[in-house]
Amino acid sequence: MNPRYPRHPRSGQDSSGASGSRAPGPPSWAQGNAQNCNAMAPCCRIYFISAANDAVPVGGTGTAIMTPQDPFQAQEIVLSSTRTAPFFDLLDVKVGSQSQSVSNTNAPTAGDVFSEVAVRSSMTLDPTWAGVAISIGFANVDPLLPHDFRVTVFGYSVAGYQGC
What range defines the domain where residue 118 resides? 43-163
pLDDT at 134 over 90: yes
More confident residue, 162 or 62: 62
User: Counting beta carbons within 10 angstroms of the beta carbon of residue 13, is it exposed (0 to 12), middle (13 to 18) or buried (19 or more)?
Assistant: middle
Q: Is residue 30 part of a domain?
A: no
Q: What is the pLDDT of residue 92?
A: 93
Give the sign of the dihedral formed by CA 163, CA 71, CA 3, CA 7. negative
The residue type found at 109 is: T
Alpha carbons 94 and 67: distance in angstroms, whole number = 12
- Conformational region of residue 44, where left means phi above 0, alpha means psi within -120 to 50, and beta covers everything else: beta
Q: Is residue 29 part of a domain?
A: no
Q: Is residue 86 part of a domain?
A: yes
Residue 153 Cα distances to 13, 59, 76, 87, 138, angstroms: 27, 24, 6, 18, 15
Q: Is 38 helix (H, G, I), strand (E, B) or coil?
A: helix
Residue 106 sits at φ, ψ, to 5 deg, of: -90, 60
Alpha carbons 83 and 86: distance in angstroms, whole number = 7
Q: What is the pLDDT of residue 22?
A: 37
Cβ(124)–Cβ(75) below 8 Å: yes
Q: Is residue 64 part of a domain?
A: yes
Helix (H) or strand (E) holding 37: helix 34-38
Q: Is residue 10 part of a domain?
A: no
Which of 36-40, 47-51, 129-133 is the most confident on average? 47-51
What's the mean pLDDT in 79-94?
A: 95
Q: Does the pTM of the predicted model rise above 0.75?
A: no
More confident residue, 64 or 29: 64
Q: Is residue 19 part of a domain?
A: no
Q: Is residue 34 part of a domain?
A: no
User: What percent of the chain has a predicted confidence (pLDDT) above 90?
Assistant: 52
Alpha carbons 79 and 15: distance in angstroms, whole number = 33
Alpha carbons 96 and 84: distance in angstroms, whole number = 24
Q: What is the pLDDT of residue 42?
A: 55
User: CATH number for the domain including 105?
Assistant: 2.60.120
The count of domains in the chain is 1
Q: What is the pLDDT of residue 77?
A: 95
What's the mean pLDDT in 112-139?
A: 90
Q: What is the pLDDT of residue 17?
A: 44
More confident residue, 104 or 69: 69
Q: Is residue 132 part of a domain?
A: yes
